[in-house]
Amino acid sequence: MDISVLVPLYNESESLPVLHDWIVRVMNEHDLSYEIVFVNDGSTDDSWHVIKQLQAQNQHVHGICFRRNYGKSAALHCGFQIVKGDVVITMDADLQDSPDEIPELYRMIKQDNYDLVSGWKQKRYDNKLTKNLPSKLFNATARRVTGIKLHDMNCGLKAYRQEVVKNIEVFSEMHRYIPYLAKNAGFTKIGEKVVQHRKREFGVSKFGINRFVNGYLDLMTLWFLNKFGKKPMHFFGLVGSMMFILGFIAIVVVGGMKLYALSHGVGAMLVGVNPYFHLSILMMILGCMLFLAGFLGELVIRNSGERNNYLIKEEF
């Protein structure tokens, strides 16, 4: 099979028939074998009923229905597990992504040998204050942290080599950083294509301004897990040791100053009431706790079933 089109959705019953017909037309025009996988993320409207109607009309349609709303990451994760196409295309169900982009995305994966191609909605029709400006700031930070030069990392329209989606795990709200997940898994040939952004025809946006706050927190989590996830002692042990050593040096300095004062008959405050003494003790205690946290983390990692989970590209 050439292409799997994966569409996560929540309350998009009005747009589904239009999107389905559009995808089918594009596939037929370019003579591509395909499947369409709709993942209904606990919709409260008639979305699932519409999907079943589409499946009755078209055997290439498949559906997954959650009992409640779990989020886009969960929808993509479950969809990635069942898709069968050589190239997997993800797109939103709100008709803001154009299926006409699919053939070129497919070509870039198959002929240009990209592992992943992300869409870039260069010209957007969203509210500039609430979406465009925060999105630009968010993407600038993501480029800086991840080292992936994408203008729109969170664009829903993406193309993947099947091997990519089968070897990454999308969890929590990490769908925003799938290119980074792919890069961490060893799929480094990541490209970008300018795609058309269309105005929403039906319904309302399901994402609020809080996604940018959560996005930054998730980005920091991914960065930390990638850098220290399998070697926590390298972070906690180093920081803990440095804090302990600085605290110990500070205590020695406080004690030395007291002894110097006593030996020269100069009045000095008691060590026990010196605030620097208490700060030094606190640093030493925190340093020990961080060191132990890293040590316990190493014990957990060494007993984890995924401690030697490596992806092999080729084998003879």
Structure tokens at 168: 């990454």
Could you give the 3-state DSSP secondary structure of residue 32? coil
Q: Yes or no: say if 21 and 61 are a contact pair by the CB < 8 Å rule.
A: no
Which one has a higher pLDDT value, 113 or 310? Answer: 113
- Residue 258 banded pLDDT, cuts 50, 70, 90: confident
- Residue 18 banded pLDDT, cuts 50, 70, 90: very high
Which one has a higher pLDDT value, 127 or 113? Answer: 113
Q: What is the mean pLDDT of residues 284-289?
A: 94
Distances (CA, A) of 103 to 35, 88, 95, 194, 316: 14, 12, 17, 14, 34
Which one has a higher pLDDT value, 204 or 18? Answer: 18
CA distance 234 to 242: 12
Q: Which pLDDT score is estimated for 207?
A: 55
Q: Which of 81-95, 113-127, 202-216, 224-238 has the lowest mean pLDDT?
A: 202-216
Structure tokens at 233: 């002692």
Whether the per-residue pLDDT at 259 is higher than 60: the answer is yes
Q: Which pLDDT score is estimated for 128?
A: 55
Q: What is the mean pLDDT of residues 108-137?
A: 79
Residue 190 phi, psi (nearest 5):
-115, 125
Contacts of 38 (CB under 8 A, 6+ apart): 7, 9, 16, 51, 54, 61, 62, 63, 64, 93
Q: Yes or no: say if 191 and 148 are a contact pair by the CB < 8 Å rule.
A: no
Amino acid at position 187, single letter: F
pLDDT tens for 287-310 read 999 999 988 888 887 776 565 565
Could you give the 3-state DSSP secondary structure of residue 9? strand
Q: Which pLDDT score is estimated for 212?
A: 60
Length of the chain: 316
Q: Yes or no: say if 139 and 151 are a contact pair by the CB < 8 Å rule.
A: yes
